[in-house]
Amino acid sequence: DGSLPKELEAGICAMRKGEESIIFCPAQIQHPMVQALDLPGSTLPEIQTPFVEFHVRLVDFLQARDLMGDGKTIKRIVCKGTGEFPIDCPMEDTSVSIRTRIRKVGASTWSPLLTENETEALEVSTGMGLLPTVLDTAVRLMLLHEKSVLKTTFGDDLASHIPSKSLEYPRGEKVEIEIELTAFKEAVPVEALSPEAKLQRASALKEIGNTLYKQDQISLAKGKYDKALRCVSKSYEFTGDDSDAAFNLKISCML
């Protein structure tokens, strides 16, 4: 952002976390950081380009991520979460609690995004089409209590999820969205469920898939049908009426 001389920044970008280095920069750099130094006169007049030595220790860093892989949405962590990435991140079909707010790039004040109040937490499940795509993707890359800012363009996907009483932004407006993951609860793995619970989950996933299909969210719907099929894939686990129910669910999802 220009707060460091570009030569110093280039050296820092080549360092690893915890590394200590001496970075040499020309004393003639036209940058306030160097110009503010009280540099003594060179004891060797023949040296025309004396250098400034910066002793640098890289304590920590936060990386920016191209969220969708198209350069249009950048996720930047502003407050680290707890746990290990990615095993402690919420996955698809996870109940999460998030806080979100939005502002125009360059603005000083935030506005609530998905709730009435920016401090209010929203309880929602991922992978259900209930969140704007960029938020649904971002939250699955976050650790508990992490706070990140997404820099993106306001479009139809965001507009369709914002309550009508909220501030409206013109299409194409550059915006920042702050998202904080306050809690999440992962679903129990299919392998740990009883046959009865597997039937219940398969039925619920099929209904979610039907709803997503009617909303023309075909990719998300297919994902739910596939997960429902995995719940009833082992026919030998089911007996009696449960066996018939599992078979019917399997046919329905395949169709």
Mean pLDDT check: name the lowest of 36-40, 60-64, 213-217: 36-40
162-177 average pLDDT score: 78
Element (H, E) at 180: strand 174-185
Neighbouring residues of 149: CB distance < 8 A, sequence distance ≥ 6: 75, 76, 78, 176, 177, 178, 179
User: Model pTM greater than 0.75?
Assistant: no
Q: What are the structure tokens assigned to 240, written together?
A: 């009696």
Q: Which residue has the tokens 């686990």?
A: 237
Mean pLDDT of 193-204: 91
Q: Which of 105, 164, 101, 98 is nearest to 125 (CA)?
A: 98
Largest CA distance in the chain: 97
Q: Which residues of 53-65 are buried (b: 16+ CB within 10 A; e: fewer)?
A: ebeeeeeeeeeee
pLDDT tens, position by position, 113-161? 888 888 999 999 888 888 998 999 999 999 999 999 999 999 988 888 7
| Nearest-angstrom CA–CA distance, 70 and 186 | 29
Give 28-39 pLDDT, tens digit per residue: 777 777 767 666
* Residue of 186, 179, 114 whose CA lies nearest to 152: 179
Look over the chain and give the mean of its residue pLDDT values, rounded to a whole number.
87
